[in-house]
Amino acid sequence: MEILSYCKGDSKELLVDHISAALEIVNPNSRLFRFAGRYADFERAVRLAVVFHDSGKVFYQKRGRNGMSFMGHEYFSTYIFSSFINKLFKLDLENYDCMLRDAVTFTIFFHHHAMNVKLRKPKIDEKAVEFGVSLLDTFVGDVEQFLTAEESDALKGAVEAITSQKPEDIANGVVNYVEERIRAVWREIMVNPKLKRLSYATLLALTTADYLSAQKNRKSGRTRFSAIVDEFYRFYIR
């Protein structure tokens, strides 16, 4: 089954197409990448943020009267990424990178930061969780092309760990787990200036790529905000 990142009326967008378009937008030789690359592997941070930022939408594939609602998907995306990054660094403890882990976690959770996070807290449907879990292997197959071999192995391990849990346990635990994880990341950001710069830079890159790729694939109209994002892109990311 295909995983959608957007569905409204007759307009649809595949998640894998959204990720691909977003990755094409970011330029590793741009000003923002040169600036943020001083603090960590910024190119990898942005790539992982793009790949995982909408991964939680696998739990939102039920179509309603007017399409699909993905409200709160960033909680599940953060949960999936956290499972992945824990597996990744267990495979390679010598290269454990707290800066990358925390910056990408921050970025995924806050990529809808202009909206009230509390209002976006998801209402967990156990049946939706059960169906979403069944789509995780499809997600792996879709995004392997954007990952290194080691990252792919880590994602498969994360999916195996998630699918081994009962849907009701996932439904009951995701919000508390993610909110505690975000509080821990936020505390680190407040005392680590380099992590703060890296986190905000990664968020800027993802927000820009996410918005411009969605605008392209979904053929949405021009707004004042889109003009601002486009201007930022032309100056700092292109």
pLDDT at site 115:
61
Inter-axis angle of helices 15-25 and 136-143, nearest 10: 30
Any idea which of 9-13, 193-197, 204-208, 229-233 has the lowest mean pLDDT? 9-13
DSSP labels, 124-162: --HHHHHHHHHTHHHHHHHHGGGS-HHHHHHHHHHHHHH
Tokens of 151: 């990252």
Residue 9, pLDDT above cutoff 90: no
pLDDT at site 221:
64
Spatial separation of the C-alpha atoms in residues 146 and 43, rounded to whole Å: 12
Query: 117-148 burial by CB neighbour count: b if 16+ within 10 A, else e?
Result: eeeeebebeeebbebbbebbeebbebbeebbe
Phi first, then psi: what are they for 65, rounded to 5°?
-60, -40
Q: Which amino acid is at 165?
A: Q
pTM of the model: 0.94
Domain boundaries of the chain, sorted by first residue: 4-237
Within 10 Å of residue 196's Cβ, how many Cβ atoms?
A: 16
Higher-pLDDT residue of 217 and 101 is: 101
| Cβ partners under 8 Å of residue 232, min gap 6 | 204, 208
pLDDT at site 78:
97
pLDDT at site 219:
64
Residue 133, pLDDT above cutoff 80: yes
Mean pLDDT throughout 217-226?
Answer: 74
> What architecture is the 4-237 domain classified under in CATH?
Orthogonal Bundle (1.10)
Mean pLDDT throughout 46-61?
Answer: 97
Spatial separation of the C-alpha atoms in residues 133 and 156, rounded to whole Å: 13
Confidence label for 1 from pLDDT (cuts 50, 70 and 90): confident
Residue 71, pLDDT above cutoff 80: yes
Residue 225, pLDDT above cutoff 90: no
